[in-house]
Amino acid sequence: MAFEYLKALHIIFIVTWFAGLFYIVRLFIYQVEALEKPESERIILSPYLNLMARRLWYIITWPSAILTLIFGFWVLYFRWGYMQLGFMQAKLGFVLLLYIYHFICHKIFKDLQNGKAKWTSSQLRMWNEVATVLLFAIIFLIVLKSLISVVWGIVGLIGLSLLMMLGIKWYKKVREKETIK
């Protein structure tokens, strides 16, 4: 019974971590766009967006990432035999990539908190989709428990990534047309 509670807590913190990762990059986009606004708007928007990002990052996203890791190791302890299986090794590889993504987001966060935008809003929109691709990979691996399915999953992820990039480009054109009007 304890294992089921640990697994439930692990899943809950995965969900809150992803929610934080998805929303923080959206806030990064708003922060970058606020830095491009006239001084009068920037003075109002930037401190507010910085505060929102700081609260999200340190109160939700970081604690969720840490608790996901703790409960994930705890769950794995009860199912240590899974470490022998290829799907679990692949899943943990994607989880490692997710933590790398998290640390890169932390660097972006720190830069923006200091008023430095090294990424454009378009680059950040594409960056935001990386978490989506990793989410798909991790969920499909853990549910299907099959490396053969991973091959088809990777093909699907590549297709999904291409569709998302096309969607981003389309959205950018729509926004540009709205700005012109």
116 is in an annotated binding site: no
Could you give the C-alpha distances from 98 to 57, 101, 130, 134, in angstroms and in order? 15, 5, 9, 7
And the tokens for 61?
Answer: 């996203």
Secondary structure percentages of the chain, helix, strand, coil, to 5: 90, 0, 10
Strand, helix or coil for residue 37: coil
Strand, helix or coil for residue 100: helix
And the tokens for 41?
Answer: 């708007």
The count of other CB atoms within 10 Å of the CB of residue 131 is 20
106 is in an annotated binding site: no
Write out the binding residues for heme: 10, 91
Write out the binding residues: 10, 91
